[in-house]
């Protein structure tokens, strides 16, 4: 019957997710903005199967084209809803006790905030991954409430020049935070930031107002500052299984990273140079950690930045990681696009390529086929 099919479908789907490896990289190409010349794109091809071809605007011949491969590529036309759909299984696994980190990486203006938060909160169709995730977690946790009672708490911090600040503090944003290394039952290190219990999107939207006010009062030019700091929204889930009386905990970190653009050292001075150095250092530290995890290296260098320290318990081990690599297709961004893609290649290349045996590849394909046929069966029942 329907429920058996559904349960089986879910099980198979989870197996597929697990087989896929713990580090996933999705690429999203931002559309041209009004006034940008659409003919000046560096992206030659972006395919369903995760392939992307980038064209060097000043070179000719076969050397001018470079192929990159991702778990998934979202073209300019992809909606917020489509992007979320491919992220949803990962997000839901938090309710089963997994820790998940989702990052948006790319130069300023490439669409990181669009993907994570969305361009506005007033229209649901605009919502980015953060709000869709919370909405979905509320929905699923309510639907399970006869068997598991969930509590959901959120924290939001900003990391600017290697200092962590609580963005949801009701006493103003200025307090600098340490990072607790208290070991909770699941080994989570929680920053010393205020934790807010939430039950509905109304609660969340109210909190976000505090967050935005805190962010705004700590900087005169909000956009300037937000592109030079990392913002981390952490969703902590605690579920009490009523039948077995066991507790499960999961955590979802949603990270809008600082802009990855390189700053010309000959031009930047003072605060601007200091900011650039901090950003550079923390993004390389993140790259090093993910690279070490993908290599299954015995030493993972978490201690080199506040960001990786904060996320330590949710990076590696059983945790799942997803990186959105954001691209601006304009020719003027070509060299930043290449450097973004090189970062992506470094963090994903090993895990996606050599590390996966053919056997796994075959199992994934078989499972995918079974999932597809089960989905068809369900669709016919509806
Ligand atoms: P970032 O956070 O990487 O600096 P933003 O998310 O602020 O970049 O995006 C820069 C501009 O491009 C904004 O005006 C944003 O609304 C727009 N934009 C980004 N991604 C998309 C998209 N997928 N569709 C439509 N507009 C987008
Ligand atoms: Mg931004």
Contact 283, 338 (CB under 8 A): no
**Centroid of ligand 1 to alpha carbon of 114 (angstroms):** 5
Ligand 1 atom closest to the CA of 78, numbered from 1: 23
pLDDT tens column, 74-128:
999 999 999 999 999 999 999 999 899 999 999 999 999 999 999 988 899 999 9
The full 3-state SS of 221-277, as one line of letters, equals CHHHHHHCCEEEEEEEEEEEECCCCEEEEEEEEEEECCCCCCCCCCCCCHHHHHHHH
Beta pairing class for 72-74 and 23-29: parallel
% of the chain with per-residue pLDDT over 90: 51
Whole-angstrom Cα distance, residue 110 to residue 333?
9
**Centroid of ligand 1 to alpha carbon of 32 (angstroms):** 10
Is the minimum distance from the CB of 110 to ligand 1 under 6 angstroms? Answer: yes
For ligand 1, atom 20: residue with the closest CA: 111
**Centroid of ligand 2 to alpha carbon of 170 (angstroms):** 24
Between 214 and 70, residue with greater pLDDT: 70
pLDDT tens column, 320-368:
899 999 999 999 999 999 999 999 998 875 433 222 333 444 555 566 6
Complex ipTM = 0.99
What is the 3-state composition of the chain as percent helix, strand, coil, each rounded to the nearest 5?
A: 45, 25, 35
Is the minimum distance from the CB of 106 to ligand 1 under 6 angstroms? Answer: yes
Is the minimum distance from the CB of 230 to ligand 1 under 6 angstroms? Answer: no
Q: Which of 148-157, 210-219, 304-313 is least confident?
A: 210-219
Whole-angstrom Cα distance, residue 225 to residue 206?
22
List of residues 6+ apart from 142 with CB closer than 8 A? none
**Region 246-266 average pLDDT:** 90
Nearest ligand, CA of residue 326? 1
Whole-number CA gyration radius for the chain: 21
DSSP 16-66: HHHHT-SEEEEEEEPPPPTTS-TT-BSEEEE-TTSEEEEE-TT--SGGGEE
**Centroid of ligand 1 to alpha carbon of 243 (angstroms):** 46
The full 3-state SS of 122-168, as one line of letters, equals CCHHHCCHHHHHHHHHHHHHHHCCCCEEEEEEEEEEEEECCEEEECC
Q: Which of 231-235, 266-270, 323-327 is least confident?
A: 266-270
Instruction: Specify the pLDDT at position 39.
Output: 77
Is the minimum distance from the CB of 17 to ligand 1 under 6 angstroms? Answer: no
Contact 286, 66 (CB under 8 A): no
Whole-angstrom Cα distance, residue 60 to residue 39?
17
36 is in an annotated binding site: no
Q: Rounded to two decimals, what is the model's pTM?
A: 0.85
pLDDT tens column, 38-85:
778 899 888 878 899 999 988 887 778 899 999 999 999 999 999 999
State whether the Cα torsion 320-284-257-330 is positive or negative. Answer: negative
Ligand 2 (single-atom ion) residues, CB below 5 Å: 112-113
User: Which of 235, 253, 78 minimizes the C-alpha distance to 150?
Assistant: 235
**Centroid of ligand 2 to alpha carbon of 29 (angstroms):** 15
Instruction: Specify the pLDDT at position 14.
Output: 61
**What length is written for the chain?**
382
Instruction: Specify the pLDDT at position 185.
Output: 46
């Amino acid at each position: 019957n329907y429920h058996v099919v559904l349960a089986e479908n879910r099980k198979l789907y989870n197996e597929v997710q697990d087989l896929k490896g713990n580090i996933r990289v999705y690429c999203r190409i931002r559309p041209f903005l009004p006034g940008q010349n659409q003919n000046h794109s560096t992206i030659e091809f972006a395919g369903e199967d995760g392939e992307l071809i980038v064209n060097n605007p000043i070179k000719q011949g076969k050397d001018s084209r470079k192929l990159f491969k991702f778990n998934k590529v979202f073209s300019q036309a992809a909606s917020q809803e489509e992007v979320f759909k491919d992220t949803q299984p990962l997000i839901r696994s938090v309710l089963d006790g997994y820790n998940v980190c989702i990052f948006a990486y790319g130069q300023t203006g490439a669409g990181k905030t669009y993907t994570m938060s969305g361009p506005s909160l007033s229209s649901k169709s605009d919502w980015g991954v953060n709000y869709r995730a919370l909405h979905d977690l509320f929905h699923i946790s309510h639907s399970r409430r006869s068997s598991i009672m969930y509590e959901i708490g959120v924290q939001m911090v900003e990391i600017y020049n290697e200092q962590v600040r609580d963005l949801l503090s009701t006493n103003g944003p200025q307090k600098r935070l340490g990072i607790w290394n208290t070991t909770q039952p699941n080994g989570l290190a929680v920053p010393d930031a205020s934790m807010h219990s939430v039950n509905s999107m109304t609660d969340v939207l109210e909190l976000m107002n505090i967050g935005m006010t805190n962010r705004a009062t700590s900087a005169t030019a909000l956009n300037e500052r937000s592109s030079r700091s990392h913002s981390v929204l952490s969703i902590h889930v605690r579920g009490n299984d009523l039948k077995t009386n066991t507790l499960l905990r999961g955590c979802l970190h949603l990270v809008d990273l600082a802009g990855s653009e390189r700053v010309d050292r000959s031009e930047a001075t003072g605060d601007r140079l200091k900011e650039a150095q901090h950003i550079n250092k923390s993004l390389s530290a993140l790259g090093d950690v993910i690279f070490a995890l993908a290599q299954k290296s015995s030493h993972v260098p978490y201690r080199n930045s506040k960001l990786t320290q904060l996320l330590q318990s949710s990076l590696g081990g059983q945790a799942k990681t997803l990186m959105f690599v954001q691209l601006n297709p304009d020719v003027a961004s070509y060299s930043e696009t290449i450097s973004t893609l090189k970062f992506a290649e470094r963090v994903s290349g090993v895990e996606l390529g050599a590390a996966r045996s053919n056997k796994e590849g075959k199992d994934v394909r078989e499972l995918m086929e079974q999932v597809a046929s089960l989905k068809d069966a369900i669709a016919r029942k509806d």
